Structure 1
Amino acid sequence: MASIPFRQEAQAETAPQTPWVRSVASGAGVGLAAGMTMTATASAAAAYLARVVVTPVHEKRADVEILAVIQASRGQEVVLTSTPETIVSGTYGLHFDAGRGLAKIGEVTALEPKHGTVTRRVEEVVAGDLRAARRGWVSSGFHRDPGEAGYEFDEVTVGTPVGEAAAWYVPNGNPEGPLAERNIWAIMVHGRAGTRVEGIKALPAAQQLGLDSLLISYRNDGEAPAAPDGRYGLGMTEWEDVEAGIRYALDHGADEVLLFGWSMGGAICLQAADRSQLAPAVRGLVLTGPVIDWIDVLAHQARINRVPEPVGRMTRWLLSHPLGRRVTGLASPLDLKAMNWIDRADQLHTRTLILHSQDDETVPHGPSRDLAEKNGLVSFESFTQARHVKEWNHDPERWNGRVTSWVTDLFSEAEPGH
């Protein structure tokens, strides 16, 4: 997400983190903050915002200018326009040619604030002709499937309530892993406006642990079938597709599962662990930059995008009240209170690891920290300078190390009830 998670979440096939509300502001007019005096105008703006929040977006916006590709002493480098996304340290994907081209970019070798440019090392051109590219976008994913990342995988389908959904099954390739004999599967759940590509980032940790992995798609993400109303449920409906993934894993040999979720995918995993009949098989949650409280996220996005508070309140009302369905297009209103895990902290009974950057501009890290303080089953790992769901990209060694140690400790404990 990137401003209401409002950004389109980062992954290999994700747009350049375009803020949901910022795009709204350009459509409805930033002047809302200064000149809104009529109730009708406020209502129209709230209606527009409410629709944006739940309307799937699959188009990628090429908002980064590719200025030059140069040959340096240590290899190829690319010069890009400087944006908050292009200057974050770490390794990322640079997508171009309408998504047909992809390059893996790494170290920042030069930053020229005066000229508004940043130069980064090109670690690999995965596809396309980077020298011919003029515009593109940066995401946290730089592989298009697990095979490009060096893993054997199978294309499979998971039967969900809305139809057959595409998934990747990645078998455990590490018989020496500490959990290799335990029949444990990791189920990867991507974020808003993303795809299953996002879960590739967790495969190194899963393989080190000795886990099989299932990277799923879910309703309205552009790969799985659409829901009847064609709207995001922000976790209130998508959890059923995660439940279908759990059932697939159990039917194919898993004894227990771990759910990995990014951003809105974290909210989906929390709902699955809370609502699914298969929840007893969910041993733990590993959540990166998760939405812990949608009310907090919506309010945060309204503030940073200068949306007047009355409009923000009305937006939340439209999403959660039956009368708002004619505006939002939702089949059912969203229970935002049921997705507030700060107020429901004592109702979370699944061991959870949260990894979240303090400078997350899309989903504030405060609720993640607060949930860990309120519930002893929740562990919190704070990152800095990673922005939204880029914790792995910014410091993969730390992310992998924390996840593998936490999961190993989780399964070394006595079984629940023993």
Structure 2
Amino acid sequence: GIDFTEIQVHTELGPAPAWYVPGKGDTWVVMVHGGNGRRQGNLHALQAFHDAGLPILDITYRNDLGAPRSPDHLIHAGATEWRDVEAAAKTAQSMGAKKLVIFGASMGGSIVGQFMVHSAEMSKVKAVVLENPMVSPPQTIDAALGGWKFVGPLARAVTGWRIGVDLDDLDLMRHPPRIKPPTLVFHGDADRDIDVNITRRFVAAAKRMDWPVQYEEFPGAGHTEEWNLDHTRYHDTVVAFLKRTLPVGG
């Protein structure tokens, strides 16, 4: 097993629990799970970061079990949740981190994306790892509707109205971050929750923006099932990416 300690991240809404896994060096990983998920969902990726020797915070965020509730109790697809990632980044620094790696899975990818766009703590981030990320909530809704394309604008408008967010603002292809660290992206071509074609478009857009993205597509993998399909490839890809992108001694 992996040794860990439960700590509290002090967010603007109150304390949110996080798992702290000790490691070596001053480059820490902050891990962000998907919507309606739990920290346990990150354990496969956590193992790779741990094997790379990095200290880790596997966090919760607003409206998670055990974490503070937002005033409306609604998920905002990253528009507000990114501030809890920022709080975790500050907590890591208070515990000795000087550099950061940020991991996001599924909707956690959208949360990480908004952290990248908005947070002043991005100056500390040296690498990003995204797994089946929601890089465009509006395109995700459109893809989920399939042949009902004419419903897409209405569905996006209703969703945005309900949560008080313009979903177009959360599209990383239309509104990319200013700081674009090396980014590793996993996606499976059998994902029925977030269409792999959206990630393919994102990777192409990133190239045009001089955003260094390494894309790893897993044939036959469903949503966040890349590790299940080929855990050796997943693990070794993460470790090699970190060795290549992080400062020596990080």
Cα shift at 1:346: 7.6
Corresponding residue of 1:397: 232
Q: Is 1:360 aligned to residue 191 of structure 2?
A: yes
**CA contact under 8 A between 1:192 and 1:265: conserved in structure 2?**
yes
Distance 1:188 1:346, change over 3 A: closer
Cα separation, 2, equivalents of 1:230 and 1:249: 26
The answer for unaligned runs of 5 or more in structure 2 is none
Cα shift at 1:337: 1.8
Cα shift at 1:318: 2.2
Counterpart residue identity of residue 218, structure 1: Y
Cα separation, 1, equivalents of 2:243 and 2:235: 12
Corresponding residue of 1:268: 111
Cα separation, 1, equivalents of 2:54 and 2:88: 15
Corresponding residue of 2:126: 283
Cα shift at 1:399: 0.6
Q: Is 1:206 aligned to residue 37 of structure 2?
A: no
Cα separation, 2, equivalents of 1:272 and 1:204: 24
- Which among 378, 382, 387 is matched to residue 217 of structure 2? 382
Task: Please give the per-residue CA displacement for 1:22-55, whole angstroms capped at 9, x wherever unaligned.
Answer: xxxxxxxxxxxxxxxxxxxxxxxxxxxxxxxxxx
Distance 1:255 1:412, change over 3 A: closer
Cα shift at 1:166: 0.8
Counterpart mapping for 1:165-204 below 5 A: 165-172=16-23, 180-181=24-25, 183-204=26-47
Corresponding residue of 1:106: none
**CA contact under 8 A between 1:345 and 1:371: conserved in structure 2?**
no
Q: Is 1:164 aligned to residue 32 of structure 2?
A: no
Q: Is 1:231 aligned to residue 74 of structure 2?
A: yes
Cα separation, 1, equivalents of 2:233 and 2:152: 37
Task: Please give the per-residue CA displacement for 1:88-120, whole angstroms capped at 9, x wherever unaligned.
Answer: xxxxxxxxxxxxxxxxxxxxxxxxxxxxxxxxx
**CA contact under 8 A between 2:122 and 2:179: conserved in structure 1?**
no
More helix as a share of residues: 2
Q: Is 1:302 aligned to residue 145 of structure 2?
A: yes
Counterpart residue identity of residue 387, structure 1: G
Cα separation, 1, equivalents of 2:224 and 2:233: 14
State the TM-score, normalized to the length of structure 2.
0.92
Task: Please give the per-residue CA displacement for 1:158-205, whole angstroms capped at 9, x wherever unaligned.
Answer: 011111101110112xxxxxxx33x11111100011011112112221
Cα shift at 1:295: 1.0
**CA contact under 8 A between 1:156 and 1:168: conserved in structure 2?**
yes
Counterpart residue identity of residue 213, structure 2: V
Cα separation, 1, equivalents of 2:37 and 2:129: 18
Cα separation, 1, equivalents of 2:223 and 2:73: 26
State the TM-score, normalized to the length of structure 1.
0.56
The answer for unaligned runs of 5 or more in structure 1 is 1-149, 173-179
- Ranges of 4+ aligned residues in structure 1 off by more than 4 Å: 345-348
**CA contact under 8 A between 2:30 and 2:56: conserved in structure 1?**
yes
3-state SS of the aligned residue for 1:375? helix
Cα separation, 1, equivalents of 2:8 and 2:92: 12
Bigger radius of gyration among the two: 1
Cα separation, 2, equivalents of 1:258 and 1:348: 13
Counterpart residue identity of residue 127, structure 2: G
Cα RMSD for the two superposed structures:
1.8
Counterpart residue identity of residue 130, structure 2: L
Cα separation, 2, equivalents of 1:346 and 1:169: 27
Cα separation, 1, equivalents of 2:57 and 2:237: 21
Counterpart residue identity of residue 338, structure 1: D
- Which among 226, 233, 240 is matched to residue 83 of structure 2? 240
3-state SS of the aligned residue for 1:211? coil
Q: Is 1:316 aligned to residue 134 of structure 2?
A: no
3-state SS of the aligned residue for 2:78? coil
Cα separation, 1, equivalents of 2:179 and 2:89: 19
Cα separation, 2, equivalents of 1:370 and 1:311: 22
Task: Please give the per-residue CA displacement for 1:340-393, whole angstroms capped at 9, x wherever unaligned.
Answer: 122335856222110101111110112222222232411111111110011112
Corresponding residue of 1:97: none
**CA contact under 8 A between 1:186 and 1:259: conserved in structure 2?**
yes
Seq. identity, %: 32
**CA contact under 8 A between 2:21 and 2:57: conserved in structure 1?**
yes
- Which among 241, 246, 250 is matched to residue 411 of structure 1? 246
Task: Please give the per-residue CA displacement for 1:250-294, whole angstroms capped at 9, x wherever unaligned.
Answer: 000001111111000011111111111211111111000000111
Corresponding residue of 2:61: 218
